[in-house]
Amino acid sequence: MRLVTSYRDDLRRFPEGWHKAGLLFWAVLIVGFGLTASGRWLTVANLGMVGVVGSVGLMILTGFAGQISLGHAAFLGLGAYTTAVMGERWDVPFWAALPVSGAVAAGFGLLVGPFALRLRGLYLAIVTLGALFAVQHLLLSFPDVTHGVSGIAVPMHTGLVVDGKPLAFGGPPQQWLGLRWTFDRKLYWVFAVLALSATWMGASLARSNTGRAMMAVRDGDVAASILGVNPARSKVIAFGISSFLAGVAGGMFALQQQYLTISPPFDLNMSVQYIAMIVLGGVGTIFGAVAGALAFAFLTPMAEALGEHLPFISELSSHQQSTVLFAILVIVVLVFEPMGLFGVWLRIKRYFLAWPFRY
């Protein structure tokens, strides 16, 4: 283990060869999975990367700034419907619709943010829960735009025009490099770029002055203000960044689903799922946001397959089986490791750093 002797060394992302080797490992894993996975697991991976972007956003708000939110699904819903409406009405390409979706969600987040200046804890959670129901009512109140309870189709345009018609993303499956390139396989690469970008953004924020100010406010408003940090500014910025990423995640979810309804999925259950992701992964770390989202995505189909063979649980629906088993997993992990998967990773890392010694 290398001795850190300066702030510059402390802020380096990949200070040692092991870090670079780990980066290479994950690059090979991402590329290899995208080339070899079946259609079912590509769908699971795409949903996992949607969860990564959304959970990084919630981690910035809850893990960095310490603001509890039960309305995360509201921002995802706004982003999803913004992408859907822009694609359906104006043939806006997906790469332009996604940042606009994030901006719309961020605008709403900045409206909710000022409530965090006077509220905290469960009181703030209730306000954000009210924002969730307000967004649901808003989307249902304009059926001419959102199509109301009947749902809306989500076209995915590329921005190219062929024979006077906008070219849709995907198209019929094609054979290339010996693989069948379906819609899900093509979408995987787009989502991989977005998920990696969101992860990089969150990690950069954690190392920045703004991120450190959020963490200072989380640990103590009064102490942070004495040190020159503006708590109000930090909380509002956290709401804005968090809701922007949630809006982008909502747009990604819309593109993956290709058809949307308002409730479900954009309800309290989705908000609770995102809270479970960051708690399982480890609150306060970008590692926890990514690990929790991927664990939730990949363990859900495994739990459904396992639940069919368990007594009592097999009598439930597949969705209920996965929910119950995932809840049990979260409880077990937090009982034995309160820091979640991040704490498990620290245990493994410290063991090998100290090997063959036990101290």
Instruction: Give me the tens of pLDDT residue by residue for the chain, a chain 359 residues long.
Output: 556 667 676 667 766 666 777 788 889 999 999 999 998 999 999 999 999 999 999 999 999 999 989 999 999 999 999 999 999 999 899 999 999 999 999 999 998 888 777 777 788 888 899 999 999 999 999 999 999 999 999 999 888 877 767 778 876 777 776 777 889 999 999 999 999 999 999 999 998 999 999 999 999 888 999 989 999 999 999 999 999 999 999 999 999 999 999 988 999 999 999 999 999 999 999 999 999 999 999 988 888 788 888 888 888 887 788 888 888 888 888 888 889 999 988 888 888 777 766 55
Helix (H, G, I), strand (E, B) or coil at 356: coil
| Under 8 Å between Cβ of 84 and 261 | no
Tell me how crowded residue 61 is: count the other CB atoms within 10 A of its CB. Answer: 29
What pLDDT score was predicted for residue 213?
95
What pLDDT score was predicted for residue 4?
64
Which sign does the torsion angle of CA 130, 136, 140, 141 carry? positive
> 39-45 long-range contacts, Cβ below 8 Å, gap at least 24?
39/182, 39/184, 39/185, 40/301, 42/182, 42/184, 42/185, 42/187, 42/188, 43/184, 43/256, 44/297, 44/298, 44/300, 44/301, 45/188, 45/191, 45/297
| Structure token digits, residue 153 | 């189709």
Single pTM value for the model: 0.93
What pLDDT score was predicted for residue 16?
67
What does 75-135 look like in DSSP terms, one character per residue? Answer: HHHHHHHHHHHHHHHH--BHHHHHHHHHHHHHHHHHHHGGGGGT--THHHHHHHHHHHHHH
